[in-house]
Amino acid sequence: MPIAASLSLPLAAGAAWWGMTGAGFPDWLDLRSDFRRSLRLRHRGVSHSVIMAAAISLAFGFLLELLNRQPLALGDREFSVPDAAIWPWYLCFLAGILSHLLSDAMTYGGIRPLLPFSQAKFWLLPRFLRSRYDGYLDTLLRWLAMTVIALFIALRIWMSM
């Protein structure tokens, strides 16, 4: 939201969209996608590693650059990415992926951020503070995120008056 707050409304909507997309990407990759079987992905496996986060976000940044330089024509419509959107959308997508990994690192299961090179597990919190993925901590963080979003929207409206 701090990135989106400084953008025009269409770019801010895109930033929010790509942030949410990035946040869901690790679970989509290993639970919902067709890659799950072909790459033999397990939940909270390599899709939840910093290596995959870097690879996916770099591929996304490359796609944004490509769509900026060469718009995609579908029928009579053309899709392109404006110059001003590339970095904000890229950063929001990356922040979404990283927030997912950090959130999963606060659960009992933790994550293995260096897969496939290391099986070492990582937790962000001490054992007594960890929670289930749908536990008290997740609920608290969701409410905090919604409050921050509401404050940024209110600030944006107040600044435009």
Mean pLDDT of 73-90: 91
Using pLDDT thresholds of 50, 70 and 90, give the confidence band for residue 140.
confident
- H helix or E strand, kind and range, residue 74: strand 72-74
Are the CB atoms for 52 and 33 separated by under 8 Å? no
**pTM score:** 0.78
Are the CB atoms for 103 and 96 separated by under 8 Å? no
In the chain, how many domains are there?
Answer: 1
- The domain of 129 spans 2-160
Q: DSSP class of residue 143? A: H
**Residue 75 or 5, more confident:** 75
- CB-based burial label for 94 (10 Å; 0-12, 13-18, 19+): buried
Statement: residue 139 has pLDDT above 80: no
